Amino acid sequence: MSKSPIAAPSGEASIHQPGLHARGSEPGGERAVAPERPSRVRALVRAARPRQWTKNVLVLAAPGAAGVLLQPESALAVALAFVAFCLVASGTYLLNDARDLESDRSHPTKRHRPIAAGEISVRLAVVTGVVLLLGGLAVAAAVRLELLAVVATYLVLTTAYTLKLRHVAVIDIATVASFFIIRAVAGGVAVDVPFSRWFLIVASFGSLFMVAGKRAGEYAELGEDRASTRSTLAVYSLNYLREVRVIAAAVTLLAYCLWAFEQAGPGDVGLLFELSILPFVIFILRWALLLEADRERAPEDLVLGDRGLQGAALAWAVVYGLGVYAGG
pLDDT, greater one: 296 or 121: 121
What does the angle CA 173 – CA 178 – CA 183 come to, to the nearest 5 degrees?
A: 140
| Residues pairing with 15 in the sheet | 6
Q: Residue 163's pLDDT band (boundaries 50, 70, 90)?
A: confident
pLDDT higher than threshold 90 for residue 4: no
Which of 195, 133, 124, 128 lies closest to 158, judged by CA? Answer: 133
pLDDT higher than threshold 80 for residue 1: no
Which of 169, 176, 295, 177 lies closest to 233, judged by CA? Answer: 169
pLDDT, greater one: 163 or 143: 143
pLDDT higher than threshold 90 for residue 311: yes
| pLDDT at site 36 | 45
pLDDT higher than threshold 90 for residue 283: yes
CATH of domain 40-195: 1.10.357.140
pLDDT higher than threshold 60 for residue 328: no
Decide: 276 and 323 in contact? Cβ < 8 Å: yes
Weakest mean pLDDT among 19-23, 94-98, 241-245: 19-23
pLDDT tens digits for range 18-75: 444 444 444 444 454 444 455 888 888 888 888 888 889 999 989 988 888 889 999 9
Which of 164, 172, 160, 163 lies closest to 235, judged by CA? Answer: 172
Q: Average model confidence (pLDDT) for the chain?
A: 82
Give the ranges where the chain is alpha helix by DSSP (H).
40-47, 61-66, 72-99, 101-105, 122-143, 145-163, 171-191, 197-222, 226-229, 238-263, 268-275, 277-294, 299-305, 307-327
The residue extents of the domains of the chain are 1-36, 40-195, 196-223+239-328
pLDDT tens digits for range 171-194: 999 999 999 999 999 999 999 998
pLDDT tens digits for range 250-269: 999 999 999 898 887 665 56
298-313 exposure pattern, b = at least 16 Cβ within 10 A, e = fewer: bbbebbeebeebeebb
